[in-house]
Every structure is written in structure tokens, then in C-alpha cells.
Amino acid sequence: MFTLRSAEYDSYLVENWDTETLIIHLKEQNLKLDDDDFKILHNEKITGQTFLGLTKKELQGIGLKLDPVEVLLDEIKALKEKPILLVQKVLAKYSIDSNGTDTIPLFSLQTHKIQDSDKHLKYCIAAILVRLKNYGSLVVNSLKAIHNEYVMTILHITINITRDSTGEELSMKPEYDEYMGWVNFTIKKAENLICVTKDKPERYLEDDDDNDYLYGIVTTARDWHFLLYTLGKILQDSKLPFSIKFFEDTLNKESEEYKSLCNSVKKVLDVVVGLLKNRAYAEDDSSSKKKAKIEEYHSKNKHV
């Protein structure tokens, strides 16, 4: 089983923003900042992590005037007060400090190597470029429906690649979260393989099977976190997410941004297909085989 969730941006993800992403976000807020203000932030190479910790004295120290300083201080406060990621909420259910993910044990991802010439990869990139051309760069305040489109594009491609590789018939069921505005998904064969849910992904584990397990993804389309759930335990693949930058500059196929997009999308596809294949093959495993796999994960975790 496998769970995936489209999650909101918040201060945790702001810490992963580079300078360009931060400036795009600030421009989208219509804060009445001018080009001189953005130039200062650019020249100082202010990243999201640095931005969240800036004080009034530090903002003035880099040359910003009083009005821009007050506006930016309000924006810093607003970003810090945004709701925490679902992945952090989930941690509390496993008695893990919800103020960060550093304490979550690690597990080793099983990836599926996708070739650069793969027809599905090429289609995925082409579909993403069409959306970038029509919607523009994907930024923090882009409509949630647009974030969902990128997530769905990638998920559909992972299903097609997995189907070609294994011969397994997979399907995907969307579930709309009216409160959050995100779309959750369930990818399944005979039973659920990947479940996209807003709460308690462990509810998809079989109640009568202590050796059942599922994978999880928490994603905003830009950032992808991969998790492994067993009854009462949770592991993560990495302390930092896989990231895909959806910028208009990637429309130039000769640019470094285009190359970066292709590489980032390919890495995410490698992981999701690998997890799908692993869980699809395990669907028919006996309880003892599932138990052995879980013990192997926990054993490897000690050495990751």
C-alpha cells in the first residue's frame, strides 16, 4: 500500500526556497515593493531560510527603506504563522517531535531507473512544458488546481511506466478535499497500493495484519517527501525533499533550467515507480514475507 498527499506550502517549505523562488513569491503578494527592493534581496542572495530569520535591524542594514522593511516583516510573520505540513502533523501520531523531521528514522529507497529515451518521460516533460507555457511559473500562490495538475501529470506517468514494466493493471482514484482545496489520490491494483489522504494514512493498513506496510508521499508538486508507514512506526527517505522547479525559463530547451527540470522530474519518477513496483509485487506476499521486508527496512535504517 502507498499513500500520497498534496500538501500546502508553509514555513517549513519556505526554508527550502532559493533566492529566485523567494522573490517570485514576494512579487505575487503585491506588497508594493519596487525593483530596487528586489535587487537588494537578489544581490544579498536572501534565501527562504534566511528570510524567515531576518530582523528589522538586518533588513535596514542591507539598505531597505522603512516602508519596505515594515512590509517584509509582516510577510515574514505571515509565512511563519502558516499551517504546518501534513507530514509534521503525522509525526505527532508516531510520538515524533512535530517541530522538525530530523528525528524521523531513514529508510533506503528502491528506485526504478528510467532511461532518458523513455517515451513516457518525454511525454511527461512535454505535458509540463505545455502547462508552463499556459499558466506561467508555478509559485506559492498559484491556484491549488494548478499544483494538482502537475501532481496528476506525474502520477499518471508513473502508472504508465509501472504498467509497462510489470504488466500489472493499475488505476487511480481522485478524492477532492473541500476544506484544503487539494486533490488526494489512491493508486491501486486489487487492493490499494498508493493512497493520497488528508489524514491518518495508517488507516489504509489492514487492521488484522501487523505486518502490513504502505508508502507515503507528501507533495506540493514542487517538493516531494517519501515516507514508509508500518503499524505504529514511520520512516522517511531523506531529511530534505526532492524538488522540481516549474519556471517559465525551462521553456527554452537549451537552458540550464530545462536540463534541471528534466533531471528533477526523472528523479521523482524513478522513486515513485520504484515504490509502486515494490508494493505491487508485495501485494500477494504472505504475512511472513511482509514481516521480513519490514524487518529489513528497520535493519537498513540503522546503517543509513
Q: State yes or no: pLDDT of 91 exceeds 80.
A: no
User: Within 10 Å of residue 240's Cβ, how many Cβ atoms?
Assistant: 12
Please report where in the chains the cell 525593483 appears, as a residue: 35
By mean pLDDT, which of 51-55, 133-137, 160-164, 280-284 is the weakest? Answer: 280-284
What pLDDT was estimated at residue 120? 97
Task: Say which residue, 18 or 131, is predicted with more confidence.
Answer: 131
What structural domains and CATH numbers belong to the chain? 2-8+86-301 (no CATH), 11-80 (1.10.150.50)
**Please, are residues 42 and 30 in contact by the beta-carbon 8 Å criterion?**
no
**Residues 173-203 as b or e (16 or more Cβ within 10 Å = b):** eeeebeebebbbbbbbbeebbbbbbbeebbe
Whether 214 and 201 have beta carbons less than 8 Å apart is answered as: yes
Q: What is the DSSP letter of 190?
A: S
Element containing residue 258 per DSSP (H, E) = helix 256-282
**Nearest-5° Cα angle at 150, 147 to 254:** 120
**What's the pLDDT at 144?**
80
pLDDT computed for residue 228 by the predictor: 82
Asked if the model's pLDDT at residue 11 lies above 90, the reply is no
The per-residue pLDDT for range 128-174, each reduced to its tens digit, is 999 999 999 887 767 888 888 999 999 999 999 999 998 888 888 77
Residue 296: the pLDDT is 63
pLDDT digits (tens, 9 = 90+) for 75-86: 888 777 554 454
Question: Model's pTM, two decimal places?
Answer: 0.68
For the chain, helix (H) and strand (E) counts, in that order, are: 11, 8
Cβ neighbours of 31 (radius 10 Å):
14
